[in-house]
Structure 1
Amino acid sequence: MLSAQEAFQLILKTVKPAPPVQRSLFDAWHCVLAEGTVSDLNIPPFDKALMDGFAVKSSDFRDGKATLQIQETIYAGSVPTIALQSGQTSQIMTGAPLPEGADAVVQIEHCQIDEAARSVKIDTGPMSPGKNMLPQSSVLEAGAPVLAAGTFLRPQEIGALAETGSPTVMVRPAPTVAILATGDELVAPEESPQAGQIRNSNEVMLHTQIQQADALPRPLGIARDERDHLRSKIQEGLNSDFLLLSGGVSAGERDLVPDELEQSGVRQVFHKVNLKPGKPLWFGVLERADGNPCYIFGLPGNPVSSMVCFELFVRTAIRQFMGFPSPKPQILPARLCNDFHSSGNRPTYQPAQVKWEAGEAIVSPLKTMGSADLHSTVQANAVALFATGNQHYQAGFKVDVFLW
């Protein structure tokens, strides 16, 4: 069996980042930039008022007070027409450009306007250059880098791109991910299971996990343990960027998935990983005629195994496809909240709850009845990694955790 780290390396070696596509900013949210961007102008493009008040020369306020003659009113979107001399001021609105000669803004609350005399009395205390204003190009200079390739686009990045003249961007698109649950024992969630049957929880669970990974799920329903039906469903799923099969990858008589994938031209990259839960994990690739591969994961049928394998391995593959610079799960050291006993012949990824106390991650491993006990994950927001063997861990011991 492969170690988890060996499986990660094979996934990263096999999965290629998607070819870049051009998207408008309205369609680029939660994509990853394929190319870096630069600003086409200075930010801000002029000395900018940060509040309503009066544009002034700070040298007029030697004792913190001044009475100044009002020259004009400058609104956001307009251009000043009068340069300030000593003893002069212009009323200014938030976002408007400062007139030539001004180096500070006094907020309106410190000003008493004499409309008849077209003057303003100001008592603001000590005044220094730059107060209540943002100098030209102090945020970015024209031609300066804005965002690097590999940046995940959240609302703030989208706004920054719009501000700096990138209305369209080259991104790596989210993949389509087909989901196929297998097994004669499965029925739809809305059905009442009969003797020997269980509800198909994996499909909707994986659907949500795919959405959380910013990919596009395509549920295909249930494939029965019969070759023709399974084959037709697999062929449908191989039209997507990824195909996830749940169940049918162990060593049972009706575990038909690996053989049917081989018959469909899929090349196996690995089968079985040394971890608990999730040992039967299968991974392969179909090199399609259009040059765009389909990546296939055969996930264990037990729901906790399926969930853990998705979070560790499938999410890594999706992030690699989308062009994330660090696609592997990020390890977080966390201190055990309580004693914990672990046993087994494989490294164990235990469902766990992580909380933060005084800035430190504290982890509580959760009790579970095994990989079929989906309810044990309801309180989990992570898995904690425990080494092979029969070991007792005392409260306070630090372990590696992977946040979900």
Structure 2
Amino acid sequence: MLEVNAAQQIVLAAVKPLSPTREPLDRRLLGRLLAEEIIAPQDSPACDKSLRDGYAVRAADCPSAGTVLQVIGEIAAGAAPGAGIGPGQCQRIFTGAPLPAGADAVVMQEDVELLPTGHIRLRQGPVRPGQWVYPRGQEMHAGEAILTPDTRLTPAALGVLASLGRASVQVIAAPRVGIVATGNELLAPGQPGTPGKIYNSNGPLLSALLAALPLESIDFGILPDEEAPLRAGLERMLQQCHAIVIAGGMSVGDYDLVPRTLRTLGLDEHIRQVRMKPGKPFLFGRCGDRLVFGLPGNPVSAFVCCQLFVLPALRRLLGYAEADCYPPVLPARFREAFAASNDRPTYHPARYELRPTELLVKPLPWSGAPDLRALLAANALLLLPPGDVRYAPTDPASFIPLDRT
């Protein structure tokens, strides 16, 4: 049986980033990886601009308070600078407007007195060259590399691309991921409850986990434990998706039909079980170029396997570097005494908090793989070794944070 680290390496070794594609510049690119170098087409700003509402002046004309200047025009943001100014002249100017020729400074409107003759008188002086001016090329110069390939697009990056006039950009393609739950015992939320049935929590749970990544997920609902409809449903998912995530039917019972059904569809099985708790009956493989993830049906098992295997693989499909695909494991100290007995390495729901000098982690009450409610208060998975363990307050611990994407 594989250890978790070995299984993670097998998964990522089988995954290659998707090909680049050109897509419109909009918020759906958030988190995607750039697939081209972005070069500034011109200086930004393209000219000297005013940082304040006021008057564009020549600093040499303004040695002291009391200086009087003639106002010869007005420049609004978005307007051409118009005529230049000469000695003793100025122009009314607004924030973001280009400075006229001859001007090298701006005096704020609060610092002048308007005279009835079409002149202004300075209340303060001297004026220094460059005062309240955003100089040409301050942000970037023409020909400068602004963004490199493999840059993860943030709100700031999208804003910069828009400021360069880019209507589209090349990015690594976003995968389409199918999600399905299997089992004759499952009902869709909203259906009337009947004895022996349970509601499908894995579909909404997994869809929400995948929503943290910039991809397209499709919830295919529920497939029964019957070979013909199960095979037809899985085949349809493989035709439509880059990766499929199946919850349930992974164990060795009479109704656990998923592994053998996948084999009839050409599954090249890489992983069948992992030495971990919860989540031991985890399956991973490929059907052609499609990735296949089989998760246990118990919801906490599905949750943990998604965190450790599915999300890292999808990050890799999106082009993330391998080191950025894995969930981080952070050091901490136990907040209180704790004892446990496990037959496998265990990922126990927990809550961590940041203290001034350290992280403290507290295991939460948890009754095992079916106990989804325990995750309500969890923001971490506490890593516990197999065997009987006892911890005192402040003993060292390791955990995976759940509040980081």
- The TM-score, its normalising length taken from structure 2, stands at 0.90
Task: Give secondary structure in 2 for the equivalent of 1:238.
Answer: helix
Q: CA deviation at 1:252?
A: 2.3
Establish whether residue 401 from structure 1 lines up as the match of residue 396 from structure 2. no
Q: How many residues align?
A: 398
Measure, in 2, the Cα distance between the counterparts of 1:204 and 1:187: 13
Whether the aligned pair in 2 keeps the contact of 1:64 and 1:127 (CA below 8 Å) is no
Consecutive unaligned residues of structure 1, counting only runs of 5 or more, are 288-292
Moved over 6 A (4+): none
Whether the aligned pair in 1 keeps the contact of 2:348 and 2:384 (CA below 8 Å) is yes
Q: CA deviation at 1:146?
A: 2.2
Q: CA deviation at 1:61?
A: 4.7
Establish whether residue 251 from structure 1 lines up as the match of residue 285 from structure 2. no
Whether the aligned pair in 2 keeps the contact of 1:151 and 1:324 (CA below 8 Å) is no
Q: Deviations over 1:93-131 (max 9, x none)?
A: 1111112333332222222221x3222122346644433
User: Cα 1:311–1:123, aligned 2, differ >3 Å: closer, same or farther?
Assistant: farther
User: Cα 1:262–1:55, aligned 2, differ >3 Å: closer, same or farther?
Assistant: same
User: Cα 1:202–1:103, aligned 2, differ >3 Å: closer, same or farther?
Assistant: same
Measure, in 2, the Cα distance between the counterparts of 1:391 and 1:124: 74
User: Cα 1:238–1:52, aligned 2, differ >3 Å: closer, same or farther?
Assistant: same
Task: Give secondary structure in 2 for the equivalent of 1:54.
Answer: strand
User: Cα 1:134–1:373, aligned 2, differ >3 Å: closer, same or farther?
Assistant: same
Q: CA deviation at 1:202?
A: 0.6
Q: CA deviation at 1:315?
A: 0.9
Task: Give secondary structure in 1 for the equivalent of 2:270.
Answer: strand
Q: Which residue of 2 aligns with 1:41?
A: 42
1:61-210 matches, cutoff 5 A = 61-63=62-64, 66-114=67-115, 116-124=116-124, 127-210=127-210
Q: CA deviation at 1:400?
A: 3.4
Report the AA paired with residue 402 of structure 2: L
Consecutive unaligned residues of structure 2, counting only runs of 5 or more, are none
Out of 305, 310, 316, the residue aligned to residue 306 of structure 2 is 310
1:269-288 matches, cutoff 5 A = 269-287=270-288
Measure, in 1, the Cα distance between the counterparts of 2:246 and 2:54: 64
Measure, in 1, the Cα distance between the counterparts of 2:329 and 2:46: 42
Measure, in 2, the Cα distance between the counterparts of 1:129 and 1:367: 67
Task: Give secondary structure in 1 for the equivalent of 2:166.
Answer: coil
Establish whether residue 301 from structure 1 lines up as the match of residue 302 from structure 2. no
Task: Give secondary structure in 2 for the equivalent of 1:304.
Answer: helix
Q: CA deviation at 1:167?
A: 1.6
User: Cα 1:270–1:65, aligned 2, differ >3 Å: closer, same or farther?
Assistant: farther
User: Cα 1:174–1:93, aligned 2, differ >3 Å: closer, same or farther?
Assistant: same
Q: CA deviation at 1:27?
A: 6.8
Q: Which residue of 2 aligns with 1:319?
A: 315
User: Cα 1:137–1:364, aligned 2, differ >3 Å: closer, same or farther?
Assistant: farther
Task: Give secondary structure in 2 for the equivalent of 1:225.
Answer: coil
Q: CA deviation at 1:157?
A: 2.0
Whether the aligned pair in 2 keeps the contact of 1:34 and 1:323 (CA below 8 Å) is no
Report the AA paired with residue 339 of structure 1: A
Q: CA deviation at 1:335?
A: 4.5
Q: Which residue of 2 aligns with 1:14?
A: 14
User: Cα 1:28–1:204, aligned 2, differ >3 Å: closer, same or farther?
Assistant: closer
Task: Give secondary structure in 1 for the equivalent of 2:244.
Answer: strand
Q: Which residue of 1 aligns with 2:342?
A: 344
Q: CA deviation at 1:138?
A: 1.0
Task: Give secondary structure in 1 for the equivalent of 2:202.
Answer: helix
Q: Deviations over 1:130-180 (max 9, x none)?
A: 332221111111122222222333433222112113221111232221112
Q: Deviations over 1:164-200 (max 9, x none)?
A: 1322111123222111211122122222433322111
Whether the aligned pair in 1 keeps the contact of 2:64 and 2:124 (CA below 8 Å) is no
Report the aligned-residue RMSD.
Answer: 2.4
Task: Give secondary structure in 2 for the equivalent of 1:32.
Answer: coil
